Structure 1
Amino acid sequence: FTDYVTAFVNRIPGFDGHLEGLKVYTTLDTELQADAVDAVTDNIAQLEKNHRRLRRTKTDEKLQTSMVALDANTGAIRAMIGGRDYSESQFNRAANAERQPGSAFKPIVYLAALDPDRAPFSPPLTLASILPDEPITFPDGWSPANYERTYQPQVTVVQALYESLNVPTAYVGSKLGPATIVKTAHEMGIHEDLQAYLPISIGADETTLLELTSAYQVFATEGLQSPPYAVEAVVDAKGHQVYLHEDQENRVIRPSVAYLITGALKAVLRYGTGASAGRLGLDFPAAGKTGTTQDYKDAYFIGYTPAIVCGVWVGFDQPESLGLTGAQAALPAWVQFMQDAAPADPEDFPEPSGITMATIDPESGGLATPACPKQVSLPFLIGTEPTQMCPLHGGIFASAPAAAPVSATMPPPPSAPPQPVASASPSSSDVFGAVGKFFTNLFHH
């Protein structure tokens, strides 16, 4: 952190480079920094204890980690860990290491997709919308695959997000267009020159942990982006103010749309890839997303409360497989830190105007019945919430036929692209009939 601050001070316009007598007032919270050190140190030690394959004797080959924590409201950097041991390596992996974010990038894609002002879907996409989840090959020859190579004919948007499914996300990305995804990522604070190609939808390009964590701040602050910063003020030896930080807030997206992602990412921690957080002791409102890159070379967890946003990365400097997911390798450090950082009486995320809540079955997207094995309370933009009961578990359409099968390889026709079903309750009384027509159009021969 000190190196990061020093580098910033040396870039201040007009600064003569003389550090003697300089007073630099920073954003660091020393208690949170100590908590961050403990969290990443304990996590690395536990990983190496439990997995012999991760142990290395050479300093430059050891398992590495980084963490950054931001004030959710301002973007101020409260804690920064650049590696496992500063005495062994001074490289700042939080601010300077560019790695693929993998699935931790997906919430950015869905933010754009759920925003009626950005997305081409008509009617608008919702967390209960139905998406295809079958092997697919796009016109450019790219064939994304789910991590476990398992597929379901169809999933809801929230299910695709909390189970971190690649195929539905790639489909959504194909409808949004890579340019829209890149533009949204840039607006959210990721400044790398991202490639506008379809694999960007599942995090195939590179960014830093600091910028990725900063992007999640947009969710925590209901759509406001504040660039991360480490210096509040600089005063020279004569008492002259050399620098004073000025708050910057950019409205990226409507509060109600940002809240949709928070609702989905809360489900990640309860039902999805981050569900082990509860077993690790997380017992207050939080939202977040795992990230695991191809061949398990990078493990992430990025998450937030209304007060703080924290990102964790675990991997090797020379990328090689960890054999572990983001939930296994990064989430434990995140939970430990967030527990230490949480106030005595944590608050839940405030619900903005323009939102209505509905309890749905995440498998069908219909309103949950008492027979539904899983019931998820989710936010919807007013007027887009489901109105029909779940057809799978005792709903009024429980006897409806199954949806039409999905072709394994036929991509959506470019001349007349179909849109995802806006909710689990189309105007037709036959829910699965409507879904079946959707897939028939989507994968027609």
Structure 2
Amino acid sequence: MTSEDKPGWFGRLFGRKGKDEGKEEVPATPAEGEPDFATGAEDVEHIPLPEDEGAIDATEGADLLPVEGEDEKPPTGTAGDRPAHGADPVDTGTMNREPNVSPEPDVALDPDIQPTDTAAALAHDAGAGPDREPEAKGWWSRLTSGMRRTSTALSDRVTGLFTKRKLDATTLEDLEDALIQADFGLETAVKISEAVGKGRYEKGISPDEVRAILATEVERALEPVAKPLEIDTAKKPFVILTVGVNGAGKTTTLGKLSSKYRAEGRSVMLAAGDTFRAAAIEQLNVWGARTGTPVISGAQGADAAGLAFDALKQAQAAGTDILMIDTAGRLQNKTGLMAELEKIVRVLRKQDPEAPHATLLILDATVGQNALSQVELFSQAAPITGLVMTKLDGTARGGILVALAAKFGLPVHFIGVGEGVEDLEPFAARDFARAVAGLERD
């Protein structure tokens, strides 16, 4: 090629761009521009009780398709447009917002399409189309498929370390490194390597034996925290509050849980307490429409604590079994936003001294070790009773769940390994341990 044939910088720039087309874009980290919340605010106002509590126009039993996406976007306007926070609400009248239980909100879930109805939007968001075959996998198949990135990374390292090689100190150190890289944590990594080396020093050991020991130790670490979320029927409604950082999957998790509880025959009400992000309100309304669940929501920027208070009031009047409250995503180091969370809890207890009966911290598995600081700091703002780990299919560091169990001992109620409604299931230590180790179910 002559110098005249070589593309210049402009051509190389656009040539590189062309090569990158079609690659999945990594979503930008949400800006930390959320407004802070002052204390000493005036009393909040309240949503009046609707005349018809349970009236919704939704088709029960319809196919439930997921609504993914938790990108937090700041509202239009300034922080001064939002109500100040800090004061507990007193019933002073009605708010300038109407309860919304609309089963078919007019929201397009993708800017590139304009679906004719909500079902079309949901189908598009779930990736449905003529080329997509419906999945009929059981939970074990979905779990092993979702955990494949973690199990493959570990299996490759184990195979490389223990094939045609005697067990020595260097091998065990390399195994520890592999486990630490998978976010198992130092304490668990040391325990597993010690279990592998016990009685086998300077002897041969097969990769399959190492994986079996790995599964046993992981199961032993997770068994104490693998606890289902028990719904106390004596508490009506049983109030579930969800908290977590931006993008962890709180709104989607609530939608999936409402589907599960409705399928069990329980009555459910959702409260769109993420008043900071308009898309979250619309998204929860979509979930309510598809699952036949009433949604209490207000205008963007409305007081979240006041809305939670009113939602509990309405759920009590309606005799609802379960009330699930969404909250705005907040970074664990934002003291003003964490103060708002404390206020929501305080306000709920004015109506029911024991509420919330469960406070679930939703954790994104892809954040790795940062999940440890999230648990620590959110626990200071709200009475965290259990964890839900989402997006385990999106990381090769699924061992973070083991590190969390070792450090905090909080119950793990559910794990998520995909976008579908069926991809969120109760946590089982043995299944998870064998999936991580790349072993078959026994």
Shorter-chain TM-score category? under 0.3
Q: TM-score, normalised by structure 2?
A: 0.26
Q: TM-score, normalised by structure 1?
A: 0.26
- Which has more helix, going by share of residues? 2
Higher relative contact order (CA 8 A, sep 6+): 2
- Which has more strand, going by share of residues? 1
